Amino acid sequence: MLVSDTAVRKSITVVVLSVLIIVFGTYCYLVLPRESDPDISIPNVFISTEYRGVSPPDIETAITIEIEKKLKGLDGLKKIQSVSAEGLSSINVEFVTGTNIDQAMQDVKDKVDEAKNELPQDLENDPSVFEVNFSELPIVVFSLSGTCGLPCLKEIADDLEDAIEAIPGVLAVDVTGGLEREIRVEVFPEKLAYYGLDISALQQVVVSENQNTSGGAIRMGDGRFQLRVPGEFTTPEEIYGLIVGTHGGEPVYLKDVARVVDGFKEETSRARLDGRAAVNLAVRKRSGENIIPISKQIDSHIARVQPAWPRGTEITKVMDKARDIDLMVADLENNILTGLVLVLVVIFFAMGLRNALMVSLAIPFSMLLTFTALYLLGITLNMVVLFSLTLALGMLVDNAIVIIENTYRFMEQGASRFDAAMKATSEVAYPVIGSTLTTLGAFAPMLFWPGIMGEFMSYLPLTLIITLSASLFVALVINPAFASLCMKVKSKDGGAPAKSLEEVAAAVERPAEIRGIWMRGYAKLLTAALKRPVSVILCSFAVLALMVQGWLLAVGLEKPIEFFPDIDPAAMYVNLEVPEGADLDYIDRVLKRIELAVASPQTEASVSLEPSDEEYGQALLAKEHKKADGTSFAGPSDLGNIRNVYSKGIVTASAGTAFDPNAPNHVGIRFLEMKDRLGSSNDTLETIRERIKDIAGARLTIAAAEEGPPTGAPINIEIAGDDFAVLGSLAAEVKKIVAQVPHVEDIRDDFVEGTPSVHVTVDRQKAALFGLSTDMIGFALKTAYNGLDVSSFREKDEDYDITVQLREDDRRVVDVLHELMIPTPSGQMVPLSTMAKVAYGGSIGDINRINNERVVTVKANVDETKVPGPVARAQAEELLKNLPLPPGYQTRFTGEFEFQQESEDFLSKAFVVALLLIFLILVSQFNSISQPFIIMTSVILSLGGAFLGLMLFKQPFGIIMTGVGVISLAGVVVNNAIVLLDYTNKLRERGMVLSEAVVAAGATRLRPVLLTAITTILGLIPMVTGVSFDFHDLTISWVSESSQWWRSMAVVVIFGLMVATFLTLVVVPTLYYLLEQLPEKRRQAMERIKRLYWKQYGWLSGEKNADLD
């Protein structure tokens, strides 16, 4: 072959090329960005429109629907989701994956511009349009705690925030908890009324007095002097002396109508770590940035500044993606290296040390070429890529084994290294290329996997295609070149005369001598099979049916399918949904009850009580526990798997995004690393679920830390219709029905009945008499109750806000509204009660819409340790068929169900396309229909092994992992069958009898067939068992986090390949023998027919002297 011939002739050039591959490949591996999951980009554009004081129904009618109408015809549009809330319209526009986000942004902006004429004319600001990237989640969360107090911790956190946000690649730092200093001017409304003043007068005075002004410059003598009027406050007490007005000809001072408090801003969030008050910092990176170097820079900065912090200040990582990635990469690297050692050991015993080294060249060079390609393509080193390398590990040596073994046989017969490398490679090059192409043909359809799941899983076929293509290059270029330079063989002929290359080739092409217990036993087995070919084929299909039936009885009837594997989570969250209008103190009380339940079991009575600070502190004191290796650690809970418990409570602002994937209020539980756990973290999760079930005051749901692509809840039911009240009642009915399904948990909906409110109804005619509008009155009320940051106070290079608002006690009572004075444009002060009525009321809650319909969504989790999500969902779907729906209302399953349906449809089509591609490649290679049919039959029969593996490991059929495993198996199975049938055809071309050719070919290819199968299987063994050698610590690792993900795929490939190896060695030759006999049997049958019938009716064929009687 031209490529391999050139490589052998230019072997020194190939050596230099190999050195370059080592250098560049190693560099690319070291600089490749690391991350746990592939960086999935979901094109989302967000539209936010504020319209203060307007109810959700009016927001929906006036803004949301008008914008949605314009968005309908956008190219690549997948879903429009909106929330109409009090004073805010939020619309999320999701496009199909692969859409150019910049173009999508521009298209959305154009449509919003078109809608502006239909929107209310008194909007304060135009709708804002911006990109939303849900992949920009925190990469690390720090918790600051200590004895210096929350104000001190908040200052440290703010300094860290500024420094970390300056690090390249960091998008933002979100700070939660702490107390921030504020100079607050608290106004007495009754004194304002007495002096005829309003709050705005105080605000204006503070602003105008607290500033330094310049009077320009003056010339004195020969110099110029700047004229400055310093006015900034040097102490908060100076504010007391400000004159805010006059009364009866006397000045009114600020101290007469207000007090100045040097205190703290009203808390909007609280955080705790293991029961201690804390300040949390969540660091988010920009999309596509490398987590590892960012994390190292953050750690380096903290190490530099930490010595300057007050004594006793601690910083703890409660979530660290960089460490998770390091552990995951190390875990997969250990699996790869362990598999590599197992493969090399087998090759060494089967082929000897020198040949083993020659074959093993395929692994590092293929890997290094793959790393180079990944770097050039901008692909990160994530768990999908690393598993792909593990899956490819055993297959990388297949081509090298065939070529090196053939070269060795040539040299055994007397050929020189140079001639042997060239001739041996040329002889098997086309079968090697064909077998590689069939494998690539199996993976190629998966490159076109649509949607989010496709973006996540497409790295597997892409990496495998790159890696196997690299192995083909190594086998055809590097292996022959190195063999021509280094390969040796012990001569068996002593001083026998040298043979010509033609004689050597003829000797090599002769089948191997059948000797040894294994080869003789195999030959007897195959000879017996050839005597009863039909029985062997029928038995093979019977075994396939038996394996499928066995899996159904053992596993499939109870847990037939799963979407993604159920894994032991590294962390969990107890999320809170509090009643509308709940304040931070209320949220904090519920959080404390949850933390106490996590710390230790609570009685039914204690769950409903508010614990004292002493009881709370005692409950979360550190408790001594043992790790799996026997070492001790201190944890905040009586449950031994828990490392930390942290909480976050926040009062959400109405302007926040309505599509934030994380609950703002939650308790986070961080587990020990998997190797340190004494039991399953899933068991701990269920224990906590049981402990918190009686906690009242909020809707609690439990969520395990997600791995893999976002898919939504296992049960996600959308109820669509017009009347929101009807949707709410239907949601309640649906929740009751879903609760009947066994092992369904955390049932909830997003229906909000209403928000408690105080209605200030303005008499527009009376207000107009004073020159006032509803907006002016609303603004006056907002500044009085919520305060207004009017200026700042500087001290020691720090700026602190100065806020003017009503006294806290007055802000908590409605009666003060009646006394509140509203300034008119003419300067007159008018009591609010003269032009407005104040009453309690409620407004309809947030209105959710999906694709232009009002929707209420019911969600539920499933205990997947007992029943797979798809099974529970199917049961819920069957029960919902009996729910009567009013005309115009409908229910539909979405969330994980959508992804499952999309993946099922694609993978079934991909399997068919893969089989078709393999068949076409085989037809072109063999120029036959029957022989590709034989090989394809072995692919179908190998599924029996896949179901055997699933049965033994009690695994359901995973739609993603098992489905991909089956497609992978199809590509692997055909390789050995190609080489076997190709050699059988060659023996027959030389005149060998069919039966003898079949047995001789099987015996000759027995070793390489077994060797390639064993190497592929051993490469995946660490993934199945979870056991590997830790090359970093030089210890044996007995557990593997990554194997939880990939076990079912590896099981399918391993057991499928084990059965396929038997099929290749026995059933494939038998089926070949049966089909090749058909022409001869047909000829013999015709001869018998002719002898029996044509003699009597020969005249029909025109024979002379035929008997006409």
pLDDT band at residue 499 under the 50/70/90 scheme: low
Which ranges in the chain are annotated with CATH 3.30.70.1430?
44-132
Structure-block tokens of residue 97: 């994956």
Q: What is the pLDDT of residues 1027-1042, one digit of tens each?
A: 877 777 777 877 777 7
User: For residues 849 and 854, what is the distance between their CA atoms, to the nearest angstrom?
Assistant: 4
Place of tokens 């047995």: 999
pLDDT value, residue 603: 65
130, β-bridge pairs: 46
Q: What is the pLDDT of residues 176-209, one digit of tens each?
A: 888 888 888 888 888 887 888 878 888 888 888 8
pLDDT value, residue 496: 47
Domain spanning 181-264+756-843, CATH architecture: 2-Layer Sandwich (3.30)
User: What is residue 36's DSSP assignment?
Assistant: S
Q: Is the pLDDT of residue 493 over 60?
A: no
Q: What percent of the chain shows pLDDT beyond 90?
A: 16
Q: What is the pLDDT of residues 386-404, one digit of tens each?
A: 888 877 877 788 888 888 8
Mean predicted confidence (pLDDT) in 497-507:
59
Handedness of CA 238, 240, 245, 251 (dihedral sign): negative
CATH ID of 44-132, from 3.20.20.70, 3.30.70.1430, 3.40.50.300, 1.10.10.350: 3.30.70.1430
User: For residues 93 and 111, what is the distance between their CA atoms, to the nearest angstrom?
Assistant: 12
pLDDT value, residue 159: 92
88, β-bridge pairs: 50, 85
pLDDT value, residue 355: 78
- CA-based nearest residue to 666, from 687, 650, 648, 685: 648
Q: Where are the alpha helices (DSSP H) in 1005-1067?
A: 1006-1025, 1041-1062
Place of tokens 């001594």: 624
pLDDT value, residue 231: 78
User: For residues 789 and 440, what is the distance between their CA atoms, to the nearest angstrom?
Assistant: 65
Ramachandran angles phi, psi of 556, nearest 5°: -60, -35
For residue 873, the SS3 value is helix
632, β-bridge pairs: 626
Q: Is the pLDDT of residue 650 over 50?
A: yes
User: For residues 1032 and 333, what is the distance between their CA atoms, to the nearest angstrom?
Assistant: 10
User: For residues 584 and 848, what is the distance between their CA atoms, to the nearest angstrom?
Assistant: 25
SS (H, E, C) 571-617: EEEEEEECCCCCCHHHHHHHHHHHHHHHHCCCCHHHHHCCCCHHHHH
State how far Cα 182 lies from the chain centre.
42
pLDDT value, residue 313: 92
- Say which residue, 977 or 811, is predicted with more confidence: 977
User: For residues 223 and 674, what is the distance between their CA atoms, to the nearest angstrom?
Assistant: 76
Q: With beta carbons less than 8 A apart as the criterion, state whether 1002 and 1065 touch.
A: yes
Residue 95: its H or E element: strand 88-95
Which ranges in the chain are annotated with CATH 1.20.1640.10?
1-31+352-490
Structure-block tokens of residue 386: 């690393």
What is the DSSP pairing of strand 715-721 with strand 890-893? antiparallel
Structure-block tokens of residue 263: 């205190």
Q: What is the pLDDT of residues 675-694, one digit of tens each?
A: 888 888 888 998 999 898 88
- Say which residue, 848 or 867, is predicted with more confidence: 848
User: For residues 497 and 500, what is the distance between their CA atoms, to the nearest angstrom?
Assistant: 10
AA identity, residue 549: Q
Q: Is the pLDDT of residue 1102 over 60?
A: no
pLDDT value, residue 654: 39
- Report the largest interatomic distance among the alpha carbons of the chain, rounded to a whole angstrom: 155
SS (H, E, C) 961-992: HHHHHHHHHHHHHHHHHHHHHHHHHHHHHCCC
pLDDT value, residue 890: 92
247, β-bridge pairs: 250
Ramachandran angles phi, psi of 371, nearest 5°: -60, -40
Q: With beta carbons less than 8 A apart as the criterion, state whether 325 and 37 touch.
A: no
User: For residues 474 and 361, what is the distance between their CA atoms, to the nearest angstrom?
Assistant: 8
Residue 258: its H or E element: strand 258-264
User: For residues 279 and 315, what is the distance between their CA atoms, to the nearest angstrom?
Assistant: 9
pLDDT value, residue 655: 34
- Say which residue, 549 or 1012, is predicted with more confidence: 549
Q: 480: how many CB neighbours lie within 10 A of its CB? A: 33
Structure-block tokens of residue 538: 């029928």
pLDDT value, residue 793: 85
Q: Is the pLDDT of residue 495 over 70?
A: no
Ramachandran angles phi, psi of 533, nearest 5°: -65, -40
Handedness of CA 444, 448, 450, 452 (dihedral sign): positive
Q: With beta carbons less than 8 A apart as the criterion, state whether 415 and 489 touch.
A: no
Written as one string, the DSSP assignment of 337-390 is HHHHHHHHHHHHHHH-HHHHHHHHTHHHHHHHHHHHHHHHHT--B-HHHHHHHH
User: For residues 144 and 309, what is the distance between their CA atoms, to the nearest angstrom?
Assistant: 11
User: For residues 480 and 404, what is the distance between their CA atoms, to the nearest angstrom?
Assistant: 8
What is the CATH code of the structural domain delimited by 1-31+352-490? Answer: 1.20.1640.10
pLDDT value, residue 142: 93
Place of tokens 């310049």: 214
- CA-based nearest residue to 1071, from 998, 1003, 1007, 1013: 998
Written as one string, the DSSP assignment of 852-868 is TEEEEEEEEEE-TTTS-
What is the DSSP pairing of strand 642-650 with strand 829-831? unpaired
Structure-block tokens of residue 196: 């005829």
Ramachandran angles phi, psi of 381, nearest 5°: -90, 100
Q: What is the pLDDT of residues 51-65, one digit of tens each?
A: 876 778 888 999 999
Q: Is the pLDDT of residue 901 over 50?
A: yes
Q: 455: how many CB neighbours lie within 10 A of its CB? A: 18
Give the gyration radius of the chain's Cα atoms.
38
pLDDT value, residue 510: 66
AA identity, residue 44: N
Task: Round the average pLDDT of the chain to a whole number and report it.
Answer: 83
Q: Is the pLDDT of residue 658 over 60?
A: no
Mean predicted confidence (pLDDT) in 834-844:
76
State how far Cα 592 lies from the chain centre.
31
Which ranges in the chain are annotated with CATH 3.30.2090.10?
181-264+756-843
Angle at the Cα of 1080 (from 1077 to 1084), degrees rounded to 5? 130
User: For residues 736 and 521, what is the distance between their CA atoms, to the nearest angstrom?
Assistant: 65
802, β-bridge pairs: 183, 791
Written as one string, the DSSP assignment of 469-538 is HHHHHIIIIIHHHHHHHH-----SSTTPPPPPHHHHHHHHHSPPP--SHHHHHHHHHHHHHHHSHHHHHH
Angle at the Cα of 553 (from 548 to 558), degrees rounded to 5? 115
What is the DSSP pairing of strand 957-958 with strand 561-562? parallel
Q: What percent of the chain shows pLDDT beyond 70?
A: 91
pLDDT band at residue 660 under the 50/70/90 scheme: very low
Q: How far is CA 931 from CA 441, 911, 1076, in A?
A: 18, 20, 9
Q: With beta carbons less than 8 A apart as the criterion, state whether 914 and 445 touch.
A: yes
pLDDT value, residue 661: 42
800, β-bridge pairs: 793
User: For residues 302 and 306, what is the distance between their CA atoms, to the nearest angstrom?
Assistant: 6
Mean predicted confidence (pLDDT) in 946-967:
85
For residue 56, the SS3 value is helix
User: For residues 417 and 420, what is the distance between their CA atoms, to the nearest angstrom?
Assistant: 5
AA identity, residue 74: L
Q: Which of 35-44, 890-899, 1060-1069 has the lowest average pLDDT?
A: 35-44
SS (H, E, C) 623-639: EEEECCCCCEEEECCCC
First to last CA, the chain: 68
Q: What is the pLDDT of residues 698-749, one digit of tens each?
A: 888 888 887 666 677 888 999 999 888 899 899 999 999 999 999 888 888 8
pLDDT value, residue 1109: 43
